[in-house]
Amino acid sequence: EPEVTQTPSHQVTQMGQEVILRCVPISNHLYFYWYRQILGQKVEFLVSFYNNEISEKSEIFDDQFSVERPDGSNFTLKIRSTKLEDSAMYFCASSPRYGGGGNQPQHFGDGTRLSIL
Amino acid sequence: TQLLEQSPQFLSIQEGENLTVYCNSSSVFSSLQWYRQEPGEGPVLLVTVVTGGEVKKLKRLTFQFGDARKDSSLHITAAQPGDTGLYLCAGKDNDYKLSFGAGTTVTVRA
C-alpha cells in the first residue's frame, strides 16, 4: 500500500540553526500538509499546500517556517532559525483530492523527531 | 480552531471485554476521521465518517457519527491485546486542516 515517507527519522540541531525536514507524499496525491506534535500534547496543524502555494497556515507557522515542493516528489518544511520550543515530532500528510465534501482522508508519514539543543 | 474532546483519556480492560471511546465538540464538522497511533509512528487512518448518523464497521470496530455531526464514538467488541494503542479522532472543519483530539490510550490485558 502506498505510504508517505519522511526523512530523517530523527534530527538533532543546535538552536539557531536552519533545519529542513523532507517528505515524499503518496504519488497521486495533490494536497500536502505539515503537522507537529510536541511531546505529551495534541497533534497540531501547521500548513496545507496545493498547486505550489500555501492554502492555509496556522498561527504557529510564522516567518521562521517555509514549505516548498522543489520537484515532482518531495515536499519540504524549513525552519530558518530553530528555537528550543520547536522540538517536536513533525508529521507530513497528503490527500488525493481537495474537499469532496470532506471525504478525502489525510494519510500520515511516521514523522521526524526534531530535537533542538 | 475547533476543539475536540476525547474521553476517557485512558482505558484499561481485559481481553474479551467491550469498550467505547467518545469524541465530542460544540462545533459541526464536515467529516471526522479516526486514527490509531503507535509509539514512534504516525497516525494510521482507520475510518472517515461524513454523514450525520452514519455508522461504519471495520471488523470488531464500530464507528458512529452523531446526527448533528458534532460528536463521534468508537466501539470495540471483544477487545484483543492487538487493539492496544492510542486512538485519535480528528475533525475537518473546512477543506484543509484537521483538528485533533488529545487521544485515548487503550490497553487490553491478556
Look at B42 and A110 and tell me if their CB atoms are within 8 Å.
Answer: yes
> What is the tens place of the pLDDT at every residue in A63-115?
999 999 988 789 999 999 999 999 999 999 999 875 544 567 899 999 999 99
Using a CB-CB distance cutoff of 8 angstroms, which residues of chain A are in contact with residue B41? 110-111
Query: Is residue B75 within 8 Å of B62, Cβ to Cβ?
Result: yes
Residues of chain A with Cβ-Cβ distance to B96 below 8 Å are: 31, 33, 45, 48, 55-56
Q: CB contacts < 8 Å between A and B, how many?
A: 66
Contact B42 A45 (CB under 8 A): no
pLDDT score recorded for residue A71: 86
Amino acid identity, position A8: P
Distance CA A87, CA A82 (A): 9
Are residues A102 and B96, on separate chains, in Cβ contact within 8 Å? no
B103 neighbourhood in chain A, CB within 8 Å? 42
The answer to whether residue A1 scores a pLDDT higher than 80 is no
- The answer to whether the CB atoms of A42 and B101 lie below 8 A apart is yes
Instruction: Name the residue of chain A whose CA is nearest to B92's CA.
Output: A102
| Structure confidence at residue A113 (pLDDT) | 97
| Residues of B (45-84) whose Cβ lies below 8 Å from A | 45, 48, 50
- Residues with Cβ < 8 Å from B75, sequence gap 6 or more? B18, B19, B20, B21, B61, B62, B63, B64
Q: What percent of chain A has pLDDT over 70?
A: 95
Residue B74: how many other CB atoms lie within 10 Å: 23
pLDDT (tens digit, 9 = 90+) per residue, B23-47? Answer: 999 999 988 999 999 988 899 999 9
Residue A10 amino acid letter = H
Q: What is the pLDDT of residue B45?
A: 94
Which triple of cell numbers denotes residue B27? Answer: 462545533
| B42-97 pLDDT tens trace | 999 999 999 999 999 999 999 999 999 999 999 999 999 999 999 999 998 776 78
DSSP letter string, B35-100: EEE-TTS--EEEEEE-STT-EEEETTEEEEE-TTSSEEEEEESS--GGG-EEEEEEEESSSS-EEE
